[in-house]
Amino acid sequence: MQLISCPWCGPREEAEYHYGGQAHVAYPHEVGALSDADWAHYLFFRDNPRGPFAERWVHAAGCRRWFNAVRDTGTHEILAVYRIGEPQPELGRQASR
Amino acid sequence: MTAEHVSPSKLPMPLSPLDGWQAAFDALPDVVAVSEITFTAQLNLRVDPSGAAAGAVAKVLGSALPVQPCTSTRSGDFLLLWLGPDEWLILAPEGAGLELETALREAIGDGPGAVTDVSAQRSTLALSGPASRELLAKGCSIDLHPKVSPTGTCVQTLVAQTGIIIVVRDETASDFLLLVRASFAQYFAAWLIDAGVELTGGC
CATH value at residue A47: 3.30.2270.10
Interface probe, candidates B72, B82, B141, B161, chain A, greatest A C-beta count within 10 A: B141
- Domains held by chain A: number: 1
**What does pLDDT average to over chain B?**
92
- pLDDT of amino acid A93: 57
What is the extent of the structural domain holding A95?
1-25+40-97
Bridge pairing between strands B122-128 and A3-6: unpaired
Q: Does A79 touch chain B (CB under 8 A)?
A: no
Rounded Cα distance, A17 and A64, in Å:
9
In-domain check, residue A5:
yes
Record: contact B155-A62, CB cut-off 8 A? yes
3-state secondary structure B16-47: CCCCCCHHHHHCCCCCCEEEEECCCEEEEEEE
Mean pLDDT per 10-residue interval, chain A, length 97 residues: 95 96 94 94 96 97 96 95 92 58
State the ipTM, two decimals. 0.87
Output the DSSP codes for B96-148. -HHHHHHHHHHHHTTSSEEEEE-TTTEEEEEEESTTHHHHHHTT--S---TTT
Q: Does A1 touch chain B (CB under 8 A)?
A: yes
In-domain check, residue A93:
yes
Q: Where in chain B is the domain with CATH 3.30.70.1520?
A: 41-117
In-domain check, residue A35:
no
Record: contact B155-A15, CB cut-off 8 A? no
Averaged pLDDT, B81-89: 97
Q: Does B156 touch chain A (CB under 8 A)?
A: yes
Q: Is the pLDDT reported for residue B105 higher than 90?
A: yes
Rounded Cα distance, A51 and A19, in Å:
17
Record: contact A65-B85, CB cut-off 8 A? yes
Interface contacts (A, B; CB < 8 Å): 35
φ, ψ at A36 (rounded to 5°): -55, -40
Percent of chain B that is helix, strand, coil (3-state, to 5): 30, 30, 40
Over pLDDT 70: what percentage of chain B? Answer: 93
Q: Does B75 touch chain A (CB under 8 A)?
A: no
pLDDT band at B145 (very low <50, low <70, confident <90, very high): very high
Q: Does B69 touch chain A (CB under 8 A)?
A: yes
Rounded Cα distance, B128 and B139, in Å:
16
Category of B15 on φ-ψ map: left (φ > 0), alpha (ψ -120 to 50) or beta: beta
Record: contact A9-B70, CB cut-off 8 A? yes
Over pLDDT 90: what percentage of chain B? Answer: 88
Category of B7 on φ-ψ map: left (φ > 0), alpha (ψ -120 to 50) or beta: beta
Record: contact A9-B141, CB cut-off 8 A? no
pLDDT band at B178 (very low <50, low <70, confident <90, very high): very high
Percent of chain A that is helix, strand, coil (3-state, to 5): 15, 35, 50
In-domain check, residue A58:
yes
Structure confidence by residue, pLDDT tens digits, B1-17: 455 566 666 777 788 99
Q: Is the pLDDT reported for residue B67 higher than 90?
A: yes
**CATH second-level architecture of B41-117?**
2-Layer Sandwich (3.30)
Asked if residue A63 lies in contact with residue A6, where contact means CB atoms within 8 angstroms, the answer is yes
The single-letter code of the amino acid at B94 is: E
Q: Where in chain B is the domain with CATH 3.30.1360.120?
A: 18-38+121-196
B18-38+121-196 CATH: 3.30.1360.120
- pLDDT of amino acid A91: 80
pLDDT band at B201 (very low <50, low <70, confident <90, very high): very low
Record: contact B156-A1, CB cut-off 8 A? no
CA nearest B151: which of B175, B128, B124? B175
CA nearest A89: which of A47, A54, A63, A43? A54
- pLDDT of amino acid B1: 46
Rounded Cα distance, B31 and B200, in Å:
8
